[in-house]
Amino acid sequence: MLGLMQDWPLRCHRIIDHAALFHANREVVSRSVEGPIHRTTYAAIRTKALKTAQALEAEGIRVGDRVATLAWNTGRHLEVWYGILGCGAVYHTVNPRLFPEQIAYIVGHAEDRVLFTDLTFVPLLEKLADKLPTVERYIVLTDAAHMPQTSLKNAVAYEDWIAGFDGDYAWKEVDENAAAGMCYTSGTTGNPKGVLYSHRSNVLHSMAALQVDMLGLSSNDVVMPVVPMFHANGWSLAFGMPMAGSKCVMPGAKMDGASIHELLESEGVTCTAAVPTIWLMLLQHLEETGGKLSTLKKVVIGGSACPRAMTKKFQDTYGVEVIHAWGMTEMSPLGTLCSLKPAYAKLTGDARLDVQEKQGHPPFTIEMKITDDEGNPLPWDDKTFGRLKVRGPAITSSYFKGEGGEILDEEGYFDTNDVGTIDQEGYLRITDRSKDVIKSGGEWISSIDLENLAVGHPDVAEAAVIGIAHPKWDERPLLIIVRKEGREVEAGDILDFMKGKIANWWMPDAVAFVDEIPHTATGKIQKTTLREQFHDYKFTDA
C-alpha cells in the first residue's frame, strides 16, 4: 500500500521560492567586485534568477547543459546559481585558484556552454580562451558602466544581458533526480574528477546540514560564507541560508583579515564558515590591531584539520564557539560536525578541546564505517585507525563520465581515502589522508596529529609532517615548520614542546624550516609537492 502524501519533487529552486515568500526582505549584502557594499534581498535575488533563467533559455541553453561560473561569493553569483539550475541547466562552479591548464581541462570536460565570470578573471580568461572551445558566450558579472573592453567571445555585461527580460518565467519542472550542479575534486593526483549533484541530493543535504546539531542556522542568524561557492558545493550555504531565511553577507574578492573583520563587525555576523588558513589571517589581524568580535557566535572550520590552538583562541579570547567540520566535494560536502552531545556537553578546558579536535558526528542521511585494507569493519573504540567509508543520498555514486570507474564497495559505501578513528559516541577523528599516513614499523602515525601539536607552539606559523624513508622503520616523520615572522625558534624548542604530549615513537625524527608551505587550490597543505621537495632528504642517524 502506498502512503497518501503529495508528490512534491525536491527541486532546488523551491528554496529560493521559499525565501522570497517567507523571508522576502531579508538582506543579501555583498562586498562587490567593483568596490562598494551592495544590498539586495531574497525577493530581488529570485526575480533576477528568473530573468537569468529566461535569458539562458533564449541563449539556447537546454535541460542538462552545463553553465560555468568563475566567480567570488556575491549576490550576483547567487542569482545566476539559481537561474542556471532553475532553467534545468547545471551550475558548474570553477575554482579560479586551479592552474590555468586545469581550468581549461575541467571546462572542456564538463562541456560548459556559457561562462559567467567576475571582472577579476577577465584577463585570465582572455589568455585561456583559445583552450576553451566549448564556451559560446562569456557573461561578466557587472554592469555597462564597469564593462571592460575584452576579446572574450560574445562577451556581455550581466546587467545588460538580463535587462531585456521581465522575469515572467516558470522554473523548469525537471525530475528531482536530475543534475543541478557540479564541482570538480581538487585532484591532488591525476586529473580533477567531476561530482554531479542532483536537485534531490542538494535539498536533502541542505536540510540535514541545517539541523541544530549541525550548522544550526536560523532566520535570526547573519551568515557570512567565506568558503567560496566554488569550493565543494560552497558547503551548501547557498541553499542553507535562503532555506533558513538567514541574512547573508558575501565577502566578494577580499578575504584578508582586515576585510573579513570589517564585514563581521559592520553587518553583525553571527555565524561564518571557512578553512583554517582564512582564520589564521583573521586571528593574526585581531592580534595586531586589538580588534574584537562583538557579534560573532559561531565559526565553522573545516576543509583541513582545525588546530587545537585555533579553537582555544576563538573560544577563550574572543568568546566564539568553534564547530569543527569534515566533509568532501563528493559528499555535497558536509560529512560530520563537532557539536557536543550530552556525553560531552559538560566538559570544560582541555577535556572539551580534546573532543573539539575531532571532526564530529554525522547528521541523519550519512552512514559511515571504518575498515582495514581488506574491507573488514573495525571497532569504534577511539583508537583503531581505519579507512573511512560513507554512504547516503547526497554522496556520489560515480564521477562524471564514469572517470575512475566503479567507486563503491559491495555494500554501496564510498571510500573517502581518509583514515580515521570513531569513538563510542560516533565521533570521527581524521588522522590522515590514506596516502599521507606515516607507516613506521608496521604501525601508523598520524601526520595531522603531529601538525596540530606543532602549531600549538607560540612561535610556529604553520607545520606539515611527511614520511621520509627509513632503513629500519620503513618511514619516519619529518616535521616541516614555517616560523612566525621575526621569531627565532629552533628544532630543539619545538621537539621539547611536543615531548610528553604524544607517544615517544611518534616524535618527529627531525625538523626542517622553510619560508613557505605549498597549498592546493582549496587551501590544503600540498604534501605531494613537499614530498618532491624533500625527496632526497636523509635523517642524519638513519
Active site residues: 185, 330, 439, 444
Sole binder of ligand AMP in the list 75, 194, 257, 302 (CB under 6 A): 302
CA gap 345, 339 in Å, rounded: 9
- We find the least distance from the C-beta atom of residue 58 to ligand AMP, in angstroms, to be 35
Residue 455 touching ligand AMP (CB under 6 A): no
Residue 341 touching ligand AMP (CB under 6 A): no
CA gap 93, 73 in Å, rounded: 11
CA gap 265, 320 in Å, rounded: 13
Distances (CA, A) of 416 to 92, 153, 299, 454: 22, 39, 25, 26
Cα dihedral 105, 106, 112, 117 sign: negative
Three-state DSSP state, 73: strand
Residue 519 touching ligand AMP (CB under 6 A): no
CA-closest candidate to residue 494, choices 535, 442, 538, 456: 456
Sole binder of ligand AMP in the list 272, 329, 332, 421 (CB under 6 A): 329
- We find the least distance from the C-beta atom of residue 258 to ligand AMP, in angstroms, to be 26
Phi-psi region of 164 (alpha: psi -120 to 50; beta: other; left: phi over 0): alpha
Three-state DSSP state, 15: helix
| Residue placing its CB nearer to ligand AMP in the complex, 327 or 386 | 327
Sole binder of ligand AMP in the list 47, 233, 359, 446 (CB under 6 A): 359
Residue 406-445 contact track with ligand AMP, rule CB under 6 A, x = bound: ----------x-x-----------x--x------------
| Residue placing its CB nearer to ligand AMP in the complex, 30 or 396 | 396
Q: Of 28-36, 152-160, 217-225, 322-330, which part binds ligand AMP (CB under 6 A)?
A: 322-330
Sole binder of ligand AMP in the list 303, 307, 362, 467 (CB under 6 A): 303
Residue 328 touching ligand AMP (CB under 6 A): yes
Residue 232 touching ligand AMP (CB under 6 A): yes
Nine-digit cell string for 341? 552531545
Residue 292 touching ligand AMP (CB under 6 A): no
Q: Of 54-62, 113-121, 323-331, 488-496, which part binds ligand AMP (CB under 6 A)?
A: 323-331
Q: Of 213-221, 252-260, 282-290, 298-306, which part binds ligand AMP (CB under 6 A)?
A: 298-306
- We find the least distance from the C-beta atom of residue 98 to ligand AMP, in angstroms, to be 12
Three-state DSSP state, 456: coil
- We find the least distance from the C-beta atom of residue 451 to ligand AMP, in angstroms, to be 10
- We find the least distance from the C-beta atom of residue 362 to ligand AMP, in angstroms, to be 13
Residue 234 touching ligand AMP (CB under 6 A): no
Residue 181 touching ligand AMP (CB under 6 A): no
- We find the least distance from the C-beta atom of residue 89 to ligand AMP, in angstroms, to be 23
Residue 447 touching ligand AMP (CB under 6 A): no
The beta strand positions in 88-227, using DSSP E, are: 90-93, 114-117, 137-140, 156-157, 179-184, 194-198, 222-225
Q: Of 37-45, 303-311, 461-469, 479-487, which part binds ligand AMP (CB under 6 A)?
A: 303-311
CA gap 248, 23 in Å, rounded: 12
- We find the least distance from the C-beta atom of residue 102 to ligand AMP, in angstroms, to be 13
Peptide bond into 333 cis (omega under 30): yes
Distances (CA, A) of 271 to 217, 224, 268, 301: 8, 6, 9, 11
| Residue placing its CB nearer to ligand AMP in the complex, 75 or 228 | 228
Q: Of 38-46, 319-327, 340-348, 501-509, which part binds ligand AMP (CB under 6 A)?
A: 319-327
The three-state DSSP-derived secondary structure of 429-453 is EEEEECCCCEEECCEEECHHHHHHH
Three-state DSSP state, 313: helix
| Residue placing its CB nearer to ligand AMP in the complex, 10 or 328 | 328
Sole binder of ligand AMP in the list 245, 333, 386, 467 (CB under 6 A): 333
Residue 304 touching ligand AMP (CB under 6 A): yes
Contact assessment for residue 324 and residue 356, using Cβ atoms and an 8 Å cutoff? yes
CA gap 307, 534 in Å, rounded: 24
Element (H, E) at 154: none
Residue 293 touching ligand AMP (CB under 6 A): no
Residue 360 touching ligand AMP (CB under 6 A): no
Phi, psi of 325 (to 5 degrees): -135, 145
Residue that is written with C-alpha cell 565543494 in the block: 232
Burial 325-361 (b: 16+ CB within 10 A, else e): bbbbbbbbbbbbbbbbeeebeeeeeeebbebbbbbbb
Residue 76-115 contact track with ligand AMP, rule CB under 6 A, x = bound: ----------------------------------------
204: Cβ–Cβ under 8 A, 6 or more apart, which residues? 10, 365, 393, 394
| Residue placing its CB nearer to ligand AMP in the complex, 81 or 230 | 230
| Residue placing its CB nearer to ligand AMP in the complex, 143 or 321 | 321
Q: DSSP state, 534?
A: T
- We find the least distance from the C-beta atom of residue 315 to ligand AMP, in angstroms, to be 17
CA gap 125, 148 in Å, rounded: 13
- We find the least distance from the C-beta atom of residue 307 to ligand AMP, in angstroms, to be 10
Total residues at the site for ligand AMP (CB under 6 A)? 20
Q: Of 6-14, 82-90, 301-309, 452-460, which part binds ligand AMP (CB under 6 A)?
A: 301-309
- We find the least distance from the C-beta atom of residue 337 to ligand AMP, in angstroms, to be 10
AA letter at 239:
F
Phi, psi of 411 (to 5 degrees): -95, 5
Q: By CB under 6 A, name the binding residues for ligand AMP.
A: 185-186, 232, 302-305, 324-329, 333, 359, 416, 418, 430, 433, 522
